């Protein structure tokens, strides 16, 4: 069982054990919303993911994307997209053990900050 949640622990989730892609996103929306140079997402089938404590607040960040965060501590834990409703992107920093899923791909590298490089992982 993979577990995680927000900083204040009001939001907790579980993910069934499995092999899931870990993707570094350099898009400007992730950058602003997480206030970080880039965000790594664990890409999980929604059927494998479940909130077990708390209910995150939804933020429509685009016409097809919705972000989910803890209204108490502000941690962003997940993102869903109407383009792939069977998938939930889980913010890797919210996992209890993010080191279990090293990133294998970078996306939106066209907007990557050259001053904040990551591993050379390109699609
Ligand atoms: Zn919280
Ligand atoms: Zn992004």
Q: Please answer whether residues 91 and 5 qualify as being in contact, where contact means their C-beta atoms are separated by less than 8 angstroms.
A: no
Tell how far the Cα of 84 is from the centroid of ligand 2, in angstroms: 15
Tell how far the Cα of 29 is from the centroid of ligand 2, in angstroms: 6
Tell how far the Cα of 23 is from the centroid of ligand 2, in angstroms: 10
Q: What is the pLDDT of residue 118?
A: 74
Give me the CATH topology for the region 2-111: 2.170.150
Cα separation, 42 vs 4, whole angstroms = 12
Closest ligand to C-alpha of residue 4 is: 1
Q: Which residues crowd ion ligand 1, with CB under 5 Å?
A: 6, 8, 10, 70, 72-73
Helix (H) or strand (E) holding 88: strand 87-91
Tell how far the Cα of 7 is from the centroid of ligand 1, in angstroms: 5
User: Mind listing the pLDDT tens digit for each residue in 65-115?
Assistant: 999 999 999 999 999 999 999 999 999 999 999 999 999 999 999 999 988
Closest ligand to C-alpha of residue 43 is: 2
> What counts of helices (H) and strands (E) characterise the chain?
1, 10
Q: What is the pLDDT of residue 117?
A: 72
Entry pTM: 0.93
Tell how far the Cα of 1 is from the centroid of ligand 2, in angstroms: 26
């Amino acid at each position: 069982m993979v577990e995680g949640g927000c900083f204040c622990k009001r939001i907790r989730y579980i993910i069934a054990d499995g092999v899931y892609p870990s993707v570094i996103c350099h898009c400007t929306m992730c950058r602003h919303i997480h206030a970080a140079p880039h965000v790594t997402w664990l890409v999980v089938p929604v059927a494998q993911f479940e909130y077990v404590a708390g209910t995150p607040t939804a933020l429509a960040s685009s016409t097809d994307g919705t972000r989910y965060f803890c209204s108490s501590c502000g941690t962003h834990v997940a993102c869903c997209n109407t383009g792939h409703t069977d998938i939930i992107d889980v913010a890797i920093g919210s996992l209890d053990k993010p080191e279990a899923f090293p990133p294998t791909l970078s996306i939106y590298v066209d907007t990557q900050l050259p001053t904040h490089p990551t591993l050379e992982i390109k699609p």
